[in-house]
Amino acid sequence: MPTCRVCFRHCEIGEKQLGFCGARTCADGQITAANYGRITALALDPIEKKPLRRFHPGSMILSVGSYGCNLRCPFCQNNSISWSEEAMDLAVSAASEASARQNQTLHRSVQQVTPEELAQAAEQCRPRGSIGIAFTYNEPLVGYEFVRDTAKLVHERGMKNVLVTNGTAGRAILEELLPWIDAMNIDLKGFTPDWYRRIGGSLQQTLDFIELAAKHCHVELTTLIIPGENDSDEMMEAQVNWIAGLTGKDGSNIGRRIPLHISRFFPQFHMTDRPPTDVRRIFELADLASQKLEYVYTGNC
Tell whether the model's pLDDT for residue 54 goes beyond 70.
Answer: yes
In our burial notation (b when 16+ CB lie closer than 10 A, e otherwise), range 105-119 reads: ebeeebbbbebeebb
Tell whether the model's pLDDT for residue 97 goes beyond 70.
Answer: no
Q: How far apart are CA 298 and CA 1, in angstroms?
A: 46
**Helices 115-124 and 144-156, axial angle in degrees (round to 10):** 50
In a domain, 218, yes or no: yes
CB atoms closer than 10 angstroms to residue 208: 16
CA nearest to 269, candidates 60, 96, 73:
73
Amino acid 108: pLDDT: 38
In a domain, 147, yes or no: yes
In a domain, 20, yes or no: no
**Helices 279-289 and 233-244, axial angle in degrees (round to 10):** 40
| 84 Cβ neighbours under 8 A, 6+ residues apart | none
Mean pLDDT across the chain, nearest whole number? Answer: 92
Tell whether the model's pLDDT for residue 98 goes beyond 50.
Answer: no
In a domain, 24, yes or no: no
In a domain, 5, yes or no: no
In a domain, 15, yes or no: no
> What's the number of domains the chain is made of?
1
The three-state secondary structure class of 60 is strand
Gyration radius of the chain's alpha carbons: 19
Task: Report DSSP state, residue 40.
Answer: S
Predicted confidence (pLDDT) per residue in 112-169, tens digit: 999 999 999 999 999 999 999 999 999 999 999 999 999 999 999 999 999 999 999 9
Please list the helix, strand and coil fractions of the chain in percent, rounded to the nearest 5, in that order.
35, 20, 45
Residue 129 sits in a domain whose CATH number is 3.20.20.70
Q: How far apart are CA 140 and CA 137, in angstroms?
A: 8
Q: How far apart are CA 286 and CA 272, in angstroms?
A: 24
Q: Is the backbone peptide bond immediately before 179 cis, with ω within 30 degrees of 0?
A: no
Amino acid 81: pLDDT: 81
In a domain, 285, yes or no: yes
Percent of the chain exceeding pLDDT 90 equals 87
Task: Report DSSP state, residue 120.
Answer: H
Confidence of residue 77 (pLDDT cuts 50, 70, 90): confident
Task: Specify whether the CB–CB gap between 15 and 42 falls below 8 A.
Answer: no
Predicted confidence (pLDDT) per residue in 241-291, tens digit: 999 999 999 999 999 999 999 999 999 999 999 999 999 999 999 999 999
In a domain, 217, yes or no: yes
Burial class of residue 176 (count of CB atoms within 10 Å of its CB; 0-12, 13-18, 19+): middle
Measured CA angle at 133 (ends 202, 160), to 5 deg: 95
Amino acid 220: pLDDT: 98
Amino acid 87: pLDDT: 53
Q: Could you tell me the pTM of the whole model? A: 0.92
Measured CA angle at 198 (ends 208, 221), to 5 deg: 40
Q: How far apart are CA 19 and CA 28, in angstroms?
A: 15
CA nearest to 231, candidates 283, 270, 193:
283
- The residue range of the domain holding 190 is 38-299
